[in-house]
Structure 1
Amino acid sequence: MDLIVVKFGGTSVGDGSRIKKAAQSVVNEYMKGSQVVVVVSAVNKTTDELIGLSNDAIGTGLTDKQKAEIMAMGELTSARLFSATIESLGVKSEFIDPYNKLWPIITDSNSLEAKIDLNTSNKKTEGIKQLVNQGVIPVICGFLGKGPSGEITTLGRGGSDITAFLMGHCLDANEVVIVTDVDGVMSTDPNKIEDAELLDTISVEELRDLATHGAQVLHPHALKYKDPLISAKIINFANEDLSSKGTRIVGPFEGEMLKCVTLYKDPISLIAIVGEAMLKKVGLMAKLTTALADDGINIFGMSAGQNSITVFVNKVDSNKAYLLLHQLVIDTDVLSSLSLGRDTAMITFVSPDIIETPGIISDITEPLRKNNINILEITSSQTAVVLFVDWEDGEKAHKLITEVLE
């Protein structure tokens, strides 16, 4: 018998009729023979309204503990409503909130950005499993946790998605379904480009990067909890059918629940190209990359400034790349000269927390400074920091950066 964890976002339970349709879709899936666990968000905009009310009434005197308790009222209410609606359709249901002895999500004492105790939470899901095996549909409050003293905590933005993926993992579910107000993940914002197309699949890495850059489908933090062995998809509540196609989320997040530091095995060469107002030259980057691509030379990275561009290539390709780019310099008015740098080591630091951790760059670079290791270039993305140091410093730098993880 398949076990499905389905999460309904705020717009999916935005009013009474939507709650009834959502509950009916759960009952329909249950009647097909599936076991279903529901995670529900607060009714659309309820949390923001509660925060606004408390700010107007109390202002800065509101403590984090009080704020968490007030914010929780949205989920406490929607879980009760949803569970009662399921029962009105003839199926047994029980709402599970942090006051319930079966509550599964245990956190630290941080009221507003609580960290989940994964081991304890995993053990606590036994009660939910028993409920499901009895033919009951549990409706769990999204976004909320329980601290060490039994106090209500909140998981921050994307908290309900975190709850859904975490429950999927702990319950060893077959599938996690995220029900929202869009058909799935589109090729771009359909409000900006009418020809945007629905994607059949998207990788966890791709979705995280999209979400980090502003796409509103899922909060990037929630994807760290997506179990690579469990199927997941995003569907539109308007379909009223949990078996709707939507967009399937595939693969694990490469940095999921772990961080790593790698030293590339071969030396990397840096080729620096200088010129006048290079960033204003339309198509310059395209010419540069095409010149190397046409000869089968891989680019490991690029960095650009107003008057310079640095290209990183494998040392074995450096002389060929140097000659090709020199010809580009000769043929392009805005370019003046180029130089081939010494051998460098490329060290990649991967972590799902980079985008959400202030000071993480300094944490990585400070040990190198203390050991007189010069950083020749540094680039970063939402989930990785790449550093280039002198080749002879590579092993030592790799060891020092690895210690940051310990």
Structure 2
Amino acid sequence: MSLIIAKFGGTSIGNGKRIRKAAQSVVKEYMKGNKIVVVVSAINRTTDELLEIVEEATNNTITEKQLAEVVSMGEMTSARIFSSALESLGVKSEYIDPYKSEWPIITDSNLLDAKVDLKTTIKKSKILLKLLDQGIIPVVCGFLGRDKHGYITTLGRGGSDITAFLLGRCLNADEVIIVTDVGGVMSTDPNKLQEAKKLDKISVEEMRDLATHGAQVLHPHALKYKVPEIKAKIIGFEHGDLSAPGTEIIGPSKEEQLKTVTFNSEPLAVLAVVGEEILNKPGILAKLTSTLSKKNINIIGVSTGKNSITLFIRKEDAQEAHKLLHDVVVEDENLSSLSLGRDIAMITISSPEFIDTPGIISEITEPLREHNLNIVEISSSQTSVVIFVDWDDGKKAYELVRGVLK
């Protein structure tokens, strides 16, 4: 027997026929002896239509409390219809919305972009296990929360994904299944390239970066609640089968779940190639990187400017790389000069919480400024920040950054 969290997006329950098909897929899994918690989004475009009506009716004078209550109606309607569809198929079901005592998701009081109170939510979620033990299929409103005053809150756009993975973590589920209008994660947007292929597997880190940079298949914030022990996949609603193959989301590793700071044990070398407006000259970066690649010289980091490209490589490769790139500079009329700079230390700071932490870069770099430590280069993604400093400053910078994260 497995405990499954099945989340249905707005398109997958876009009309009555789709809702019944989705309900049938849940009942099919239930009849195998599995326990299932259903999470539903608002029926396709319902939230957008409600927002349009509110804007026209109120001239945007509506309060946050009123707006949260209005937009919650989409998910509350979906939950009621889906629960009714399940019961029409002969199983017990109960819809769970923020007005009910069984409501599990507790947040702060930022009504329209609430943050989850994880400790309280874990405790409150246990009531769903009692319903499951009674053979009841709970249908939970996605996207919504409730603060300590009893006010309805919302988790932001895509919040139903957050709800699904959050409940998966709180209930120690075996699997979280995201049912969408696509058959899984694609190699690119199939609306833009017909050659797009479905991926069988993708890591949490890859999925988070993909979602952050525009892919609509999953909300990146949801993945911070994904733990390695819980399986997860994305499938298309057209199958009408929760056991259908899709794209499996792998991980994260234990290291990815923690705040970590690493410091390279050996210095890096920095190579700077300059040329007038080379950022606007096609193929320059490719020529530099492919030259090093042919000699198996790995590039640790890259920085680009209007008139320069900076490459960070292992110090042991520096002399060979310097000679190889000098040949490129001499041959290419768009390039004028090359320098081999000082030894560099690289400090990498990682945490899944960074995606929800405004100002994290300034928080990390401020202690370095206070101690007059110069940052040679900095780069960042949704879950990590990489800082390059002079090698002589490396250990001091490492200790200062570690102090910030304690």
Cα 1:119–1:256 shift into 2, 3 Å: farther
Aligned partner of 2:35 in structure 1 is 35
Question: Any idea what SS the aligned residue of 1:187 has?
Answer: coil
* Unmatched runs of 5 consecutive residues or more in structure 2: none
| Equivalent residue, structure 1, for 2:395 | 395
> What residue in structure 2 maps to residue 155 of structure 1?
155
TM-score by length of 2: 0.96
Q: How does 1:56-135 map to 2 (within 5 A)?
A: 56-135=56-135
Secondary structure of residue in 2 paired with 1:74: helix
Asked if 1:259 is matched to 2:259, the reply is yes
Distance 2:301 2:130 in 1: 52
Contact 1:181 1:237 in 2 (8 A): yes
Distance apart, 1:346 and its partner CA: 0.7
Q: Give the unaligned 5+ runs of structure 1.
A: none
User: What residue number does 1:339 align with?
Assistant: 339
In the alignment, residue 97 of structure 1 is paired with which amino acid? D
2:318 is aligned with what amino acid? S
Task: Note if 1:238 corresponds to 2:238.
Answer: yes
- Secondary structure of 1:245's partner? coil
Taking the aligned partners of 1:3 and 1:380, their CA distance within structure 2 comes to 37
Which residue type is aligned with residue 225 of structure 1?
Y
2:274 aligned counterpart, secondary structure: strand
Summarize deviations over 1:30-78 as a string: whole Å, max 9, x none: 1122111100111111111222222222233212111111111111111
CA contact (8 A) 2:35 2:132 kept: yes
Task: After TM superposition, give the deviation of residue 188 of structure 1 in Å.
Answer: 1.1
In structure 2, the residue matched to 1:306 is 306
Q: Quick check: 1:200 aligned with 2:200?
A: yes
More displaced 10-residue stretch of structure 1: 153-162 or 345-354: 345-354
The CA distance in 1 between the partners of 2:404 and 2:319, in whole Å, is 36
Q: Please tell me the residue identity of whatever aligns with 2:329.
A: V
1:259-299 Cα distance to aligned partner (Å, 9 max, x none)? 33222221111111112332233322222112212222111
Deviations 1:63-111 (A, max 9, x none): 2111111111111111111111100110000111112222111111111
1:174 matched to 2:182? The reply is no
Q: TM-score, normalised by structure 1?
A: 0.96
Is the CA contact (8 Å cut-off) linking 1:93 and 1:136 kept in structure 2?
yes
| Identity of matched residues, % | 63
SS at match of 2:393: helix
Summarize the Cα distance change of 1:81–1:207 in structure 2 as closer, same or farther, 3 Å threshold: same
Q: Distance in 1 between matches of 2:287 and 2:339?
A: 18
Structure-2 residue corresponding to 1:293: 293
Q: Is the 8 A contact 2:221 2:355 kept in 1?
A: no
Distance (whole Å) between structure 1 residues aligned to residue 141 and residue 99 of structure 2: 11
Q: What is the RMSD computed on CA atoms of the aligned residues?
A: 1.7
Q: Relative to structure 2, which stretch is displaced further, 275-284 or 153-162?
A: 275-284
The equivalent of 1:47 in structure 2 is 47
Q: Distance in 1 between matches of 2:257 and 2:118?
A: 11
Structure 2 counterpart of 1:186: 186
The 3-state SS of whatever aligns with 2:352 is coil
State the Cα distance separating 1:314 from its structure 2 match: 1.3
TM-aligned CA distance change 1:355 to 1:135, over 3 Å: closer
Does structure 1 retain, via aligned residues, the 8 Å contact 2:54–2:60? no
- 2:268 is matched with 268
Distance 2:355 2:229 in 1: 25
C-alpha contact 1:223 1:253 (8 A) present in aligned 2? no
Q: Helix, strand or coil: the match of 1:12?
A: coil
